[in-house]
Structure 1
Amino acid sequence: MSIIKEGRTSNIECLRCIAMLFIVLNHCILHIVTKRLSLDTEPIFFCLMNFVYQVVYNGVNLFVLISGYFLVKTTRNTTNWEKVTKLWLSVFFYSAIIYAFSIGIHRKPLNFQELIHVLMPIRYDSYWFITQYLGLYIMSPFLAKWARSMSKQEYKIMLVSFFIITSILQLQGLKGGFSLIWFLFIFMFAGYIQLWESESFTIKRWNTYAGIIFIFISALLFLISFPINGKTLNIVSYWGFYNGPLLFIASVSLFLFFKKIKESKLVVVVSKLSPYMFGVYLVHENPIVKEHLWSYLNGLFTEIRISNLFLIAIIILFSSAFIEYLRQLIFRTLKIDSLFYNAIKNTFSLITTIIKKQFHKCLIH
């Protein structure tokens, strides 16, 4: 599981790891720093944290860009339900196991409503990102087919229209980018880079100055955060939402920058962690873990320094990745994924056969 899949490059897989580190750092700042820091109390630390916050908020967009960039190449005519089942099973595993541990440790009685939410984590949006991502993955073969069927000009017009609706106008229901609609746009934009980069003057020029653009946009978000947010630490509303125009430009810029960097030994080593990044999200963002993790960390530190914050994020990332490594090892050894998928497929086939027979009997009578 540590080997990069065919057709994937270690620099992009390294960026996937960095994107997840950004997400963890984002959560660290949200749950620890924002509650105790203001411009009046510690102006220098506030400014440092403010800049870091604007940078790490790119994590979700980066993750979806990477997925779209690779998934748009799929030649499948329909959804890969085996992979959907595999993803769902990993979500279910963490949801059920962590809940069982919580019940056992705290010796509290089973709550039927809680249990339903635990057994159906995607349906009840226990992990908002996974719920949207799963929807995107299910639709990806059809989106890929649509992307490949369009001419370059048609694709550009579609993207501009999509961008105006989702990022400039930010119509109601987009929830600041916490939505499937925004994920669909990012997927299609990443698909355009994959399919038309070599023939697109805009993407070529963007690619040339990608690193500079990323730094400039991050600095701009930092500067405009002061008149918008005042003395409180937060992301910049509208411009800095996941679907904010400035954050989107920054995310694409960082993606393009990493796409062209050389695959050094460090990049290759970091990329080995890529297969475990989804697990990092599933572990540290589990509702039960979140409740105890951030409460414990807030009580542990009387003051937070930027070095402490990075250390906390790295510890969370590596410990969660190790847990995911163990889960994958167990699932691979016991062949749980394939057994579960085959059980579902056989059950579905049996139900379909019974329904067909009953329907046939009804027609005869």
Structure 2
Amino acid sequence: MLMLSPILNIGIENIDKRQYQVLLIFVLLIEFAGGTLYHYNGTSLTQLLFIYMIGQYLHKYPIQKIEKAPLQILLIASGINVSMVFVCSYFQIGGDHITRMLESNKNPLVLLSSISLFMAAKNKIQSKLLGTLGRLAPYMFSVYISHVILLYLNIINFRSLVLISPIVSVFAISISILLLAILADKLRVLLFGKVLDKLESQIEKIIKRI
């Protein structure tokens, strides 16, 4: 995604709001209508693309309802999802598959809750701190991928790294992974920056010709 984002940004800049909405609906149908119903584990490339595109859409075309009442939307979306999980579990509707599907990151209600929580936090954070978080934001995806790879593949046994307490260890490991992610991204820019810039300019020329 870090390598695709410059190319995606060029495409996003050259489409209008209506085209953007149609594109989001198309990716939504591919990802959630298929992914949620049949594959509720893991994170697919289409899901990451969809999340990135939603973030860019909200930046380009802010939705006032979400920005003005994020906590209400968060409570409603989370409440509906929790109620559905409870009902399906209590009455054993659909078995374990339905419950896992509702708890999955691919569930649109979970995504809506996450966006609302982000908006609520953004509204409460002071402008200076928001700027600092904005500078760290590009590295958050690297941190997420690093955690997933290290935990899921069990490359590092985190239980053996407990320091003073589990809480201290979580912060220490998270900060270490953040620093490694920043270093990795700096190396990415150093090694592939010029290549990506040339590729970006070529794609931009092709789009303008079309």
The TM-score by the shorter chain falls in which range? 0.5 to 0.7
Residues 2-26 of structure 1, C-alpha deviation per residue, up to 9 Å, x if partnerless? xxxxxxxxxxxxxxxxxxxxxxxxx
Q: Distance in 2 between matches of 1:248 and 1:229?
A: 21
Correspondence 1:219 to 2:95: no
Paired residues of 1:210 and 1:256 also in contact (CA < 8 A) = yes
Offset of residue 253 of structure 1: 1.2
Aligned-residue Cα RMSD (Å) equals 4.3
Q: Following superposition of structure 1 onto structure 2, how do residues 133-282 of structure 1 map, counting pairs within 5 Å? A: 136-170=1-35, 175-176=40-41, 178-197=43-62, 203-230=63-90, 236-263=99-126, 271=133, 274=136, 278=143, 281=147
Query: How many pairs does the alignment contain?
Result: 179
**Distance in 2 between the 1:293 and 1:234 partners?**
30
Change (3 A) 1:326 1:262: closer
Which position in structure 2 is the counterpart of 1:122?
none
Instruction: Measure, in 2, the Cα distance between the counterparts of 1:326 and 1:206.
Output: 32
Once residues 23 and 54 of structure 2 are traced to their aligned partners in structure 1, the CA distance between those partners, rounded to angstroms, is 10
Deviation at 1:341, TM superposition (A): 3.8
Aligned to 2:72, the other structure's residue is in SS state helix
Runs in 1 of length 4+ with deviation above 6 angstroms?
A: none
Give unpaired runs (5+ residues) of structure 1: 1-135, 198-202, 298-310, 346-365
Larger radius of gyration: 1
Q: What SS class does the counterpart of residue 289 from structure 1 fall into?
A: coil
Choose the corresponding residue for 1:315, options 160, 165, 168. 168
TM-score of the superposition, structure 1-length normalised?
0.39
Q: Aligned AA for 2:159?
A: L
- Residues 149, 155 of structure 2: 8 Å contact kept: no
Q: For the structure 1 residues 273 and 281, does the alpha-carbon distance in structure 2 shift closer, same or farther, using more than 3 Å as the test?
A: farther
| 1:287 paired residue number | 154
**Partner deviation per Cα, 1:189-227 (whole Å, 9 max, x = no partner):** 111111122xxxxx1112222111112222332222223
SS at match of 1:157: helix
* Paired residue type of 2:55: A
Q: Given residue 193 of structure 1, which amino acid in structure 2 is its aligned partner?
A: L
What is the one-letter code of the residue matched to 1:209? A
Determine the structure 2 residue equivalent to 1:8.
none
Deviation string, structure 1 residues 127-166 (Cα, Å, up to 9, x no partner): xxxxxxxxx2221112111111111111111112221221
For 1:328 and 1:177, how far apart are their aligned partners in 2? 21
**2:27 and 2:50 in contact (8 A); partners too:** yes
Q: 1:317 to 1:155 in 2, by over 3 A?
A: same
- Contact (CA 8 Å) 1:238, 1:244: kept in 2 or not? yes
Instruction: For residue 126 of structure 2, give the secondary structure of its aligned residue in structure 1.
Output: coil
1:7 is matched with: none
C-alpha distance in 1, partners of 2:177/2:36? 37
Alpha carbons of 1:234 and 1:208: their partners in 2 closer, same or farther (altered >3 Å)? farther
1:43-64 CA distances to partner (integer Å, 9 max, x unpaired)?
A: xxxxxxxxxxxxxxxxxxxxxx
Q: TM-score, normalised by structure 2?
A: 0.64
Q: CA deviation at 1:184?
A: 0.7
Name the amino acid aligned to 1:154: Q
Cα distance in structure 2, aligned partners of 1:272 and 1:206 = 20
Structure with greater proportional helix content: 2
The structure, 1 or 2, with the larger RCO (C-alpha pairs under 8 Å, 6+ apart) is 1
Do 1:283 and 1:289's aligned partners in 2 also have CA atoms closer than 8 Å?
A: no
User: C-alpha displacement at 1:288, in angstroms?
Assistant: 3.4
Contact 2:85–2:102, Cα closer than 8 Å, also in 1: no
Letter in 2 for 1:241: S
**Is the 1:168–1:245 contact (alpha carbons within 8 Å) kept by the matching residues of 2?**
no
Shift in CA distance, 148/173, structure 1 to aligned 2, threshold 3 Å: farther
Once the two structures are aligned, what percentage of the paired residues are identical?
20
How far did residue 318 of structure 1 move? 1.1
Distance, in Å, in 2 between the alignment partners of 1:141 and 1:261 is 30
Partner Cα distance (2:56, 2:87) in 1: 36
CA separation of 1:261 and 1:320: change in aligned 2, threshold 3 A: same
Question: Please, which runs of 5 or more residues in structure 2 have no aligned partner?
Answer: 196-210
Give per-residue Cα distances to partners, 1:158-182, cap 9 Å, x unaligned. Answer: 1122212212343788554610011
